[in-house]
Homo-oligomer: A and B are copies of this chain.
Amino acid sequence: MESITSPKSLVEQTYEILLNAICTGELAPGERLAQDQIAAQLNVSRQPVNSAISILKANRFVEDTGRRGVIVAPVDNSLFQSIFEFRAVIEPFAVQLAGARLPNDARREAEDVVRQGRQAVETRDVRALLQADVEFHNMLYRWSGNPVIENTMRGNWHHIRRSMAEVLRDPGAAAPVWDEHAAIAEMLLDGRTEDAAALMKLHITFAYEKIRAAMSNNAPD
């Protein structure tokens, strides 16, 4: 028997919709969030919209202009480097911890996620690709048994998604990513934890190089 779960409040729903719009780039950096307009669009009053914006503000996804309302926070280019510099340490660490704490159905779960990722590559669906990427890494965070990693990275992934959405214009380029994911999972499930962690470090480095290359093509500044 499962416990009763109350439906999400309008504040939560509004927050998720706005955050998603920001992360996918639908709401561009610098764009203003007008409460009235958003409220009308979502068919709610301004009150939940106002609360949702407060949450976005606290989490630095939007900035106060001091004037009318808030704007979507800019994605400054140096953020890429910082994010991947950070992940190059955290991700292998998560793999190392996971090696000692694998759940029973780990193999099945890993195979599911990898299948989803590869399917997204096939269908060239950027949104599904990003989601599978989040899920793969999130799976490892869970396996690490360290909830701080999971919580910390939850926040970071939204920022990562914002960045990725800008450069992942060619989903075909993501094919090797999923070979790497599969190899990492395989090593981990085989008990070769150190190898898996080392490959994860490479994986993040590769991803960063790829993104940097894509960026300099898209916006050569």
Contact = CB atoms under 8 A, between A and B. Distances in A.
A146 B87 CA distance: 12
Interface string A38-51: 00000000010011
Interface residues of A, number: 35
Contacts of A93: 89
Nearest to A151: B60
Contacts of A90: 89-90
25 contacts: A6-B66, A11-B54, A15-B54, A15-B58, A47-B47, A50-B51, A51-B51, A51-B54, A52-B54, A54-B55, A58-B58, A58-B59, A59-B59, A60-B151, A78-B147, A79-B148, A85-B146, A85-B148, A86-B149, A89-B89, A89-B90, A148-B156, A151-B155, A152-B152, A155-B155
Given A6-B66, A51-B51, 10 more contacts: A50-B51, A51-B54, A58-B59, A59-B59, A60-B151, A82-B146, A82-B148, A85-B146, A86-B149, A155-B155
